[in-house]
Structure 1
């Protein structure tokens, strides 16, 4: 059975059981601070489990893209070494929100596996929660009794809290679970060892394929459990593992989910899968990782140096280093696998096809960049080896190479082994632990349980229509972090404060009670569909009605920038082409930032056209037209633009200014004329195929022109009030260029004269022509003199020092013949001598330089040079 049919049968089965089939949510989470990525099928539905929102249908089924590479669920280092762990995987799931419970979930799981898919029940095992003394929970007898009607009792196994009690985190909904395991070993192997002893023992052919979670408790901050008001079902079945079982193979990588990618790798790298263990691991790593990176980019998360982007960069770099080390790939090639991936999975996940060009470009640029890093790292590692006085390279040095330059530690260890050296791995891991401890301490946070003041959990946002409102506090909790100290999170029955989202910053403002006491709202965010207001203090009179007031000036400036962002998007598509798509935005009160797909730098004319297009819409005074809570499909049919990587509900808000129509939850001006003016301040590249424009509007434009006007008159004053200041500047530049040429010629003449004098000062030591001297030349002149003298001697050792602007420079030249015959190295020597001038440097074995901040040490360095040849 092909993978596409397996996926289709699952969704069709649950559709027949009255489940609504929903598309996979984007992998990158935007309103859940506890998770970077969707790491399980239930993550997109947390708001339903928490009771913060109600689903359109109480029965849902889907296939969800998941990524497990950070935090508690981290499979990254296992990927490639075994046959069933992945970074990105599909989780097939069916969900019940307060509808059916254990009876139906168990019966339907058994029916699907044994009747629809035809899996032999004699190769299946199920586990049941054995209970927990810590939580005072009994064994899950209800699940046990239900399973007895489908499978013999000797195949029902007891599972501990670690394996059979599922929790989404330290706090929140949780419950016992039943796992379904499959034993696909050969008959001979089964005869030797009973399969039940291998369940949950990390055996590659005895694996869990489905987990049925019975969500019935809530874990509180103090660790205690309370019953949820409604019981839910949350199931997750590993698609890749299911394909392995149904296709009769012994590895996920032998299924048609991966084989097309593996065949392409074999062709490009000219390697054969299944012949060499190290090559096999590399091929598995690459075939897995390219999926994770491609899906992430398609969902809007580009590789970067921070946060979720850093995780994606780390995954890709792991794939690159395996291709570099074990497949001998020194040029980019992983990007070429995207074509096969999009062909294979594009039907189920159309974003792979629509974003294919972008994905290829981003991966290729990342490959080129990291391969350069590897080259640089090899040079630095060689230098560390040269300077080492021991056969063991310190873990501190290796960590510096890893942390500063991104050079992988496993590659460092491999190269050292090839050179007959060893690595102080304990020292490296010690440095790594110190860094992680620092990072963990910086982000350490404790969160109290919510204090509930009202049973009414409905929360209404009224900020589209008003900036002030009378509100009641319905719940609050205290949060303590290393970064922000003690903070309070407040939730109201209604709020005019816009929560951060869609690129727009959260509102600030204040609360005022009837006694005149004020609490300042420092930020507003959305977490699992709840609008949370951040304050340093808790209101004194928590049960009163408060006047909630949004900072009107900041909101107005932010609205100007948000509306301008929509107009900018329209302008770019009109002027550059419809290939332009938004890839990220940041809308603040002071400026806006807009990332978009485009493959070349914008010309001055294009930037001017974009500015003129936006300003024409501002001058046109286009009124805001919005439709709230309309069906998603209706909005799309009316021309609204939806963005990749955004999660939309069943109903949406459509915002229109003239011909610009977008799905947007942000706040906007009532008329484009309110923006006053739009000005682009920068344009540049973010990644391959991604450009970024930063721009300003309204008061910021006025300040911009005022500042530029002031600078213009200051410049004009410096030019003696020239009538044509631009022409006057051009004349100055021309004069400056002429003077520079004259100085260069004078320095060259000076260097020629110096060369003649220096020849007479050479001293022969041990058959080497030696000179160490301080010169009154610049770096370029010293290099010229050194190389001209070098053409006349084959046994030359020169060390020159010079001082410029209070800084010292040492330059060392050694004839190539001496480098080869005597083993001298200018780079090593100049680094050692650089200590005298409180600096460092390096270069090639025959010529190297060192810079420092202590010119007084030049004479000591010159005097110390002799010891290298004496």
Structure 2
């Protein structure tokens, strides 16, 4: 029986042997189609080839494409786990012809592979064709020898494929497998077609027309082929299964889920295991392709998938984060075919663990609310929309998770009511929308935009421009004039001032006219396209309609430009050194520093930081031109531009490129960016990383400086090194070696001191002080200032000496009580060290304590109660000993 991995390899090798180029799967985040949420078909990466906008060095291709269908039109999420063939993630095998072969060869290639290479019996196969496609029907009769009753003509759009309202299109032909009359269901096109008897395994699309805007079609000059075969469905047939979840790859994941939860894989939680197995695949591949859980867009779909799996794990009794522990099982199944899973393992596991920790904190409370609310409902009554919204808004339950939780009950969800509650919240948010913290001010800017339209930004090419004052805001209201000392918000018809956005801070400078001077201290972007200048009137009076000159602070803007351009170089250096999982999660480009947050599951080592810093400085020294161009998002991404996940881009984007072109890329660093940048990379000057830290689960923060600030940081570091060298009385070059020697000497002395302290503590009481508590030996000691870290080694030593018994040690070092209780193994059934240590802690006004039955520790704030704590242990031990 072939494995799924065998079937994938055989498919690709077959087409490679027939002149096709094996093309790797593209990312689940479409890089050449911003209209799609996820890659949902094999042809997505070839879309521009089919339309003629792009050429490839091959005219035949074959792929195993990763596909996610869990949002928008292709939303399979609700059914996943409960049917035989619904998945959020699957593999789409395909072969493609770009003006090379057409119907005859496509049909012949498919038929020979299915019946010859894979050996499916011909009598089990039938096909469909579009009702008007007599050519395809004739080819199936000729090539496959199918009779007319096994060539089904479908008159609906199900068998006619379109790329969109306009563009390439053409009829389809599908191959179906017949499981036999013992399985319910009828052939395609019949009233019983939704049954399981007939399974579609391959769809061949014959692109031979172009759909024109009025709805007419014209023949394509170079007809093409696009096919798709679902690997999981095909594997089920070849492995003799009627359910995709019974194939080898899924079964392995289901067994892993069963092992980790302790629940029978084929018992009452079978559907839950199936949900977990499917969602493990989609979640892992999405994270590996750079998607992280968030509140909207692709990240929200990922969160919905992950939380649905996590709820099913919770149903199976897990109390700790568990989902991430299944990643190794997935890598064993699919890591060889998709090495990105191996490379991103740490990121996947860290992301899953963090998300489950956050969700578990709310899951019990949310499910409790759901249970309480459903108890109040009559039979068949839907859950009110406002309750479903509360579960979403307060407890993080996506709507489909609530629906899934109610599956099997008589209750659904009032979806209309949920949507209404969502709309109310959106309207409330707009009414109180406060980019600057004041809703009244924002209302003013809505009015200003309606009156004056967008502000024209001139700052890419100049730092000075003439302008006209459009409106003045003082205390959240439009005024007709403002005099000296008045703090104002100013709107101009055009400006060189950059409004804070994309991580770049707003410009400062002056707005002047004869007899007028306004000091601008900040510039903000409002409502997407208004640039608002905040400042104080220093001299004269400003009025609407005045002609003014706007001048940006050149020195400050130059420093900001350098930091912003350095951020682009840093981003690319991070991705090249750490991996493609590194994506921007936030940034600050200020005149004195830059801050850059990226997805990264572990701390970045000093060695890696040094390499990254050196790489950025190397690019700066190359002093290449920084270029900016405007183009469509599709064109930008085709040229290798990096778009930020979750960002919304218009019909035209600004592309910033740095460094020389590389194969398939227009520059070393290419990003979609609306900020201001240096003219050449050399203008950045020196680049220095000043710190690296964690800000949240899976997100690391790098802070750095450039130019004069970097020079100052270097000088300051050198001065500190000289000071340390002077204190060590060695030249600066020898300071690290000398310090290492001193630290090692200190460790030796600390060990010697610890040994002496333990010996003193061990000998501070005579062996005759060991007590007998109902036949159990007790060595209970106040060891004074013995450091807490020495308590366990000493307790272990005394426990060995006592042979059979209990040791209790209390230290009062640094004015804090530290308690350790140790018991010998033979007393495990009678004595619990955790119980005794908690008794001692409570006597010293402490709380809790923990460990194992044979060794436990706790704290006790009140060190005046050491004797009381020891007495409390004696009493507890006496009770335990009976």
Range into which the TM-score falls when normalised by the shorter chain: 0.5 to 0.7
Match of 2:684 among 663, 675, 678: 675
CA contact (8 A) 1:215 1:233 kept: yes
Match of 1:293 among 271, 283, 299: 283
Distance 1:87 1:617 in 2: 44
How far 1:403 sits from its partner (Å)?
3.6
Match of 2:306 among 282, 298, 316: 316
Question: In the alignment, what sits opposite 1:17?
Answer: 18
Matched, 1:255 2:247: yes
Question: In the alignment, what sits opposite 2:110?
Answer: 109
Question: In the alignment, what sits opposite 2:569?
Answer: 566
> Would the alpha carbon gap of residues 230 and 80 (structure 1) be closer, same or farther in structure 2, given more than 3 Å must change?
same
Q: Deviations over 1:785-838 (max 9, x none)?
A: xxxxxxxxxxxxxxxxxxxxxxxxxxxxxxxxxxxxxxxxxxxxxxxxxxxxxx
How far 1:197 sits from its partner (Å)?
6.5
Question: In the alignment, what sits opposite 1:339?
Answer: 328
CA contact (8 A) 1:590 1:700 kept: no
Distance 1:176 1:248 in 2: 31
Question: In the alignment, what sits opposite 1:584?
Answer: 583
Counterpart secondary structure, 1:122: helix
Distance 2:191 2:398 in 1: 35
Q: Deviations over 1:660-703 (max 9, x none)?
A: x995445996754301465879966576333244667679999x
Question: In the alignment, what sits opposite 1:216?
Answer: 208
Distance 2:609 2:659 in 1: 29
Question: In the alignment, what sits opposite 1:377?
Answer: 366
Counterpart secondary structure, 1:208: strand
Question: In the alignment, what sits opposite 2:419?
Answer: 432
Question: In the alignment, what sits opposite 1:816?
Answer: none
Match of 2:698 among 673, 689, 704: 689
Distance 1:555 1:73 in 2: 48
CA contact (8 A) 1:181 1:199 kept: no
Q: Deviations over 1:512-569 (max 9, x none)?
A: xxxxxxxxxxxxxxxxxxxxxx9xxxxxxxxxxxxxxxxx999997686345443476
Matched, 1:140 2:116: no
What TM-score do the two structures reach when normalised by structure 2?
0.55
Matched, 1:307 2:297: yes
> Would the alpha carbon gap of residues 582 and 676 (structure 1) be closer, same or farther in structure 2, given more than 3 Å must change?
farther
> Would the alpha carbon gap of residues 606 and 439 (structure 1) be closer, same or farther in structure 2, given more than 3 Å must change?
farther
Distance 1:232 1:625 in 2: 41
How far 1:167 sits from its partner (Å)?
2.0
Counterpart secondary structure, 2:169: strand
> Would the alpha carbon gap of residues 611 and 258 (structure 1) be closer, same or farther in structure 2, given more than 3 Å must change?
closer
CA contact (8 A) 1:24 1:65 kept: yes
How far 1:328 sits from its partner (Å)?
2.4
Match of 1:157 among 143, 152, 156: 152
> Would the alpha carbon gap of residues 121 and 369 (structure 1) be closer, same or farther in structure 2, given more than 3 Å must change?
same
Q: Deviations over 1:116-168 (max 9, x none)?
A: 110111111111111xxxxxxxx011111111121121110011333101123
How far 1:621 sits from its partner (Å)?
3.6
Q: How many residues are treated as equivalent by the alignment?
A: 556
> Would the alpha carbon gap of residues 339 and 607 (structure 1) be closer, same or farther in structure 2, given more than 3 Å must change?
closer
How far 1:194 sits from its partner (Å)?
5.8
1:226-305 correspondence to structure 2 within 5 Å: 226-276=218-268, 279-305=269-295
Counterpart secondary structure, 1:425: coil
Counterpart secondary structure, 1:274: coil
Question: In the alignment, what sits opposite 1:361?
Answer: 350
Distance 2:407 2:43 in 1: 45
How far 1:367 sits from its partner (Å)?
1.2
Question: In the alignment, what sits opposite 1:173?
Answer: 168
Distance 2:425 2:171 in 1: 35
CA contact (8 A) 1:584 1:594 kept: no
What TM-score do the two structures reach when normalised by structure 1?
0.55
Distance 2:342 2:328 in 1: 9
Distance 1:203 1:58 in 2: 38
Counterpart secondary structure, 2:338: coil
1:785-824 correspondence to structure 2 within 5 Å: none
For structure 2, the residue ranges without an aligned partner over 5 or more in a row are 430-459, 463-501, 505-528, 530-553, 627-639, 646-656, 714-882
Question: In the alignment, what sits opposite 2:392?
Answer: 402
1:483-522 correspondence to structure 2 within 5 Å: none
Question: In the alignment, what sits opposite 1:71?
Answer: 72
CA contact (8 A) 2:28 2:66 kept: yes
Q: Deviations over 1:304-323 (max 9, x none)?
A: 11211111111111111122
The higher radius of gyration belongs to: 2
For structure 1, the residue ranges without an aligned partner over 5 or more in a row are 131-138, 443-465, 469-502, 506-533, 535-551, 627-639, 646-651, 705-870
1:401-480 correspondence to structure 2 within 5 Å: 401-407=391-397, 425-426=413-414, 428-432=415-419, 435=422
Distance 1:504 1:14 in 2: 48
> Would the alpha carbon gap of residues 351 and 200 (structure 1) be closer, same or farther in structure 2, given more than 3 Å must change?
farther
Counterpart secondary structure, 1:258: helix
Matched, 1:623 2:623: yes
CA contact (8 A) 1:596 1:691 kept: yes
CA contact (8 A) 1:580 1:597 kept: no
> Would the alpha carbon gap of residues 424 and 27 (structure 1) be closer, same or farther in structure 2, given more than 3 Å must change?
closer
Distance 1:200 1:26 in 2: 37
- Comparing 363-372 with 583-592, which one deviates more in the overlay? 583-592
